[in-house]
Chains A and B, each alone.
Chain A
Amino acid sequence: MEEKRKAEIVFRTDDVTKVYDTGEVKVYALAGVDLELFSGELTVLLGPSGSGKSTLLNILGGLDHATSGDVWFRDLELSKLNDRELTRYRRDNVGFVFQFYNLVPSLSARENVALVTDIAPDPMRPEDALSLVGLGHRLDHFPAEMSGGEQQRVAIARAIAKRPDVLLCDEPTGALDSKTGITVLQALKDINDQFGTTTAVITHNASIRKMAHRVIRFQDGRIGEVEVNDTRIDPKDIQW
């Protein structure tokens, strides 16, 4: 398993920097990051606010450009793509989960998922995606009729329904209490186990790290420490 993952590198970054030039000072959000993410791997990115983890996730997800350095998704060089190509890339390969769910309030759970399945090349049925996150019985409910945890699980269903190669989650449990947070994490883990979707989860919550294959710690725009979990624990056993 370990060997196979190494053989299939999904993301590779080479000395990536991201500089925000405010005119007076230059802020290095990323100050040279070399990173590889492997196929089927669930990675947790940890670090304090402003350490660069979100910036990196945005660049990997094709939402932002690096200031310098190369970013590869398989053999696709993301750093060379224009806006249209990045949209194509996101559409075909990436699933996003946001901290604040970002569901469309005027669409029901099923329809929110259908938003993505309508445009994806090889999607699953919205009903199946929602069943995967345990919401098979809430298909026709609108966001206003669901709890935060349910809304986030709809967001996950929406992200995975297109069978993405990678799933990028930015603080997916940030707005949730521990009990609902665990159901969301469980959903993420199930997807990862079942489909082998390469998953990166940003979190402030260090206890979540134990469910990951690897934990990458960020500090001041660099990778501080990489830790490999030999034994992963189930989300339900996580002490919040």
Chain B
Amino acid sequence: MRALDKKLLRDFRRLWAQGLSIALVLACGVAIVLISYGMYGALENTRSAYYERNRFADVFASATRAPRNLKDEIAGIEGVWAVELRTVKDAVLDLPNRVKTATGRIISLPANGAILNVPLVRSGRPPDPDASDEIMVNEPFALENDYQLGDIIQANLNGRKRPLTIVGTALSPEYIYTIGPGSLMPDNENFGILWMAENAAASAFDMSGAFNDVSLKLTRSADADEVVDRLDDILRPYGGTGAYGRDQQMSDAFIDSELLGLETMARILPPVFFGIAAFLVNMVIGRIVALERSQIGLMKALGYTNFTIAMHYIMLSALIAVIGVLIGWGLGTWAARGMALMYAEFFTFPYLIFSVSKFTYVLSGVLGLLSAALGAVFNAMKAARLAPAVAMSPPAPPNFRRGLFDRLFASMRLSQPTMMILRGIMRWPLRASLTSLGMALGVAVLVASSFFDDSMEEILDVAFFQSNRQDAILLLSGDQPLSVLEDIERLPGILRAEGQYSLPVRLTNGHLEKRVSIEASWPNADLSRVIDPDGKVIEAPAEGILLTKRLAGQLDVRPGEWIDVEFLTGRREEHHLVVSGIVTQYFGMGAYMDAEYAARLFRQSPRISAANVLVDENRIDELHQELKDTPNLAGLIMLTDTRQTFRDTIKENIVIQSVIYIAIAAMITIGVTYNSARIQLSERARELASLRILGFTNAEVSYILMGETLLLAIVAQPLGWAVGALLAWGMSFAFASDLYTIPVVLKNHTFGFASVVALVAAVGSVLVVRRRLDTLDLVSVMKTRE
């Protein structure tokens, strides 16, 4: 080994603590690249393999009741490769040993097996094609309710209560993210998928020779939009509610929004870490070059080339980077696998294809090495450019001069130690600003991550306590006249009932088109209201429709403008309606109108498709018991449960995330503060020892050592809040999808918490460095020149 290499290794060993703190910051960047790409890959690959193997359809549509002989016509649409006609209906379930009702989605299974959306049998077998009382249920529903094969559940099928025997469990590519009607999150305890033999389902729902759901698989070259239009034409006379592609299929859309989130994470976070690591390397190598000035002169005198000397210092940074990359790879591989497994649970995949590609490893490694080298290159060049004679002579004292600030300092009558701190900052303003910025990023990461917590609270509050104040929603099977509310109010425990009418529509503005559902409600509705972000109740206007902001944006319409509305139910009329207002909503892409206006528009008496109810808690069991036997009820959503599920899920995720982000923020802060303090110590050691000799106490010199770093840390706080708020806005913008919008809710405690974590980490790191002052060799300072 060459002597220079030995020096390299020894330098590295001496610097291990600083090297490690930088390597850890770098490792975070590398790990996040692996995690986000790894999870993105796992999710994407698993999904596409699952879709492929179980033939997930490309186009979906439903109708009220269409004859099966349309099949040939549908198959004849250009680009259609396969057609599956099904009966799909929601039903109220009466589960054994349980008072509460649940909702089941009955899906018919063709006699010779499904062609599309093939359920993957996990245990038992599919229902016998001839049996009328056998079902196969989705595995999470069975697991959550602890069902065994052979267990019997009761279902209210089209007003008739029937016992059904569970003969198998399965998973389906259609329900990777299983979300029930009116729900926001998977609730496998209260919502299940029930596959039933085609004949049995047809006879139960009066669908013999008919279907109400169609899925299509397209050929590779097919034009999906064209197919959707043709299918709509075919289904229109049969109550077709509009065909749609995968992008609007609920489960697929949720996975897409998760993929988007991962992509955002991959784009925003790693550059932050690589940037900080580069800055830290720059700071440390800069200090080493300054300290080794005479050695550099010596090496040059001995005949080492400028290139060798520059490389020597770049190699030192490369060593740090290699350690960082290795830690990052280990950490990233472990965390990516763990999080992918968590995904597999959240999204119900039958298997998980997890592999982080070699390319991702190489990419993250190269990025890590590059950022470290980039950080070192400036000072390495500086070392290379030193003239040998200059290098061998001791450096002139750093050039402090009277500046603009000195008069200010003088007028403030600051103590000399405080002056030393302030002049240090003024002397190297760039370094001080970058140090402060680095610390600010630690704070920003925390602000930007923990704002989710408050945002979710806000969403929860608006969605569940201000907008939707009902205890439960009764979903009716099909539209009913408004008078059905009187029957509902007579049910045991119902304190109040209000009607709601969902109208699937296609909105068109020029070439822009969107398929959504208009919620029509009555002007004095109190249980389910539209609330804008300021907490104001928005009444649906007496005429025209209200659009959510995102929807209006996608359709490019402003209040006062007119759009075409094609109603996909009832008489399927087309109307030209005025957009009477725009509201901001966190969930979905809704549109609202006055139910009485809708009735006038359709020239019919008011109808409802669901009832929002308030329930007397003491009689809730009685109500459930009654509902199990009530015909015309498609489902019951207990919002009280939904609120709890939502809160629990969020809380669980937030705890895990908070721990991760606190660790990340601490690592950034420690990396920056520790290195900054070490360099302070190195630069000031002689000064501080002199002061000790002159009679300054340990506490007084500690103040000088810690002062600059901690002052920068304090300055970094407001900066960090600002950067964090900016990041939060950016993330909220990037995460926004058709499914939900995350509001940016920044509360004082978010900033406070971020600063407490950052300052604790900063003070801790500085104190570790400060301990070295206790062992400062006072005597050697008398003699040696640095």
Chain A residues in contact with chain B, CB under 8 A?
Answer: 54, 58, 61, 63-64, 83-84, 87-88, 90-92, 94, 96, 98-100, 102-108, 111-112, 114-116, 118-120, 140, 142-145, 158-159, 162, 170
CB atoms of A106 and B400 under 8 A apart: yes
- Shortest C-beta distance, B223 to chain A (Å), equals 73
A-B contacts, 26 listed (Cβ < 8 Å): A58-B782, A61-B693, A63-B693, A63-B778, A87-B695, A88-B695, A90-B694, A91-B696, A99-B782, A99-B783, A104-B687, A104-B691, A105-B397, A105-B400, A105-B687, A106-B400, A106-B419, A107-B416, A107-B419, A115-B417, A119-B696, A140-B402, A144-B401, A159-B694, A170-B782, A170-B783
Report how far A84 CA is from B401 CA in the complex, Å. 35
Q: Is the CB of A87 within 8 A of B696?
A: yes
| CB proximity to A under 8 Å, residues B41-59 | none
Q: Does B785 contact A (CB under 8 A)?
A: yes
- Residues of the B chain whose Cβ atoms lie less than 8 Å from the Cβ of A170: 782-783
Q: How far is the CB of A177 from chain B (nearest CB, A)?
A: 16
B694 with A142: CB separation less than 8 A: no
Interchain CB contact under 8 A, B423 and A98: no
B427 lies within 8 A of A118 (CB) = no
Q: Which of B690, B697, B779 contacts A87 (CB 8 A)?
A: B697
Looking at the complex, which one of B398, B400, B401, B690 makes contact with A98 (CB distance below 8 Å)? B690
Asked if residues B402 and A106 are in contact (CB atoms below 8 Å), the reply is no
**CB-defined interface of B291-316 with A at 8 Å, one 1/0 digit per residue?**
00000000000000000000000000
Quick one: which of B427, B691, B693, B783 contacts A54, CB cutoff 8 A? B783
Residues of chain A within 8 A of B698, CB atoms compared: 83, 87
Q: Inside 8 A of A114's CB, which chain B residues have their CB?
A: 416
Q: How large is the interface on B (under 10, 10 to 19, 20 to 34, 35 or more residues)?
A: 20 to 34
A119 touches B700 (CB 8 A): yes
CA distance A87 to B783 in the complex (A): 20
Known contacts A106-B400, A145-B401; A115/B693 CB under 8 A: no
Asked if A143 and B397 sit within 8 Å, CB to CB, the answer is yes
Having A114-B416, A120-B695, one finds 9 other A-B pairs with CB under 8 Å, namely A63-B779, A84-B697, A87-B697, A90-B694, A106-B427, A107-B416, A118-B416, A144-B401, A170-B783
**Contact, CB under 8 Å: A115 / B694:** yes
Interface residues of B in 385-435 (CB under 8 A from A): 396-402, 415-417, 419-420, 423-424, 427
Distance in Å: Cβ of A48 to nearest Cβ of chain B: 15
Cα distance A158–B696 in the bound complex, in angstroms? 13
Whether A144 contacts B423 in the complex (CB less than 8 A), given A92-B695, A98-B690, comes out as no
CA distance A116 to B417 in the complex (A): 11
Assuming the contacts A54-B783, A96-B694, A144-B397, asked whether A104 and B700 have C-beta atoms less than 8 A apart, the reply is no
Q: Does B550 sit at the interface, judged by CB under 8 A?
A: no
- Report B-chain residues with C-beta under 8 Å of the C-beta of A92: 695
Contact B694 A54 (CB under 8 A): no
Question: Nearest Cβ distance between residue A122 and chain B, in whole angstroms?
Answer: 14
| B782 & A104 in contact (Cβ 8 Å cutoff) | no
Residues of A within 8 A of B397 (CB): 103, 105, 142-144
Known pairs A63-B693, A96-B694; A102 contacts B400 (CB<8 A)? no
Q: Does B607 contact A (CB under 8 A)?
A: no
Residues of B within 8 A of A64 (CB): 778-779
Residues in chain A near residue B122, CB distance under 8 A: none
- Complex interface bits, B131-149 against A, C-beta within 8 A gives 1, otherwise 0: 0000000000000000000
Interface residue B162 (Cβ < 8 Å from any Cβ of A): no
**Closest beta carbon of chain B to A149's beta carbon, Å:** 15
Contacts of A112 in B (CB 8 A): 416
Known: A54-B782, A99-B782. A106 touches B697 (CB 8 A): no
- Residues on A with beta carbons closer than 8 Å to the beta carbon of B692: 87
Question: In the bound complex, how far is the Cα of B773 from the Cα of A177, in angstroms?
Answer: 34
> Shortest Cβ distance from A175 into chain B, in angstroms?
8
Residues of A within 8 A of B427 (CB): 106
CB nearest to B691 among chain A residues: A115
CB <8 Å contact, A107 and B420: yes
Is B781's beta carbon under 8 Å from chain A?
A: yes
Question: Chain B nearest CB: distance from A193 CB in Å?
Answer: 24
Say yes or no: A102-B687 contact (C-beta < 8 A), given A58-B779, A64-B779, A118-B416.
yes
Q: How far is the CB of B300 from chain A (nearest CB, A)?
A: 25
List the B residue with the shortest CB-CB distance to A162. B695
| B529 close to A (CB within 8 Å) | no
Q: What is the CB-to-nearest-CB distance from B766 to chain A, in angstroms, rounded to a whole number?
A: 19
Contact A105 to B398, CB < 8 A, known contacts A54-B783, A64-B779: yes
Which positions 686-720 of chain B face chain A at CB distance < 8 Å? 686-687, 690-698, 700
**B780 smallest CB distance to A (angstroms):** 10
Complex Cα spacing A200 to B415, Å:
31
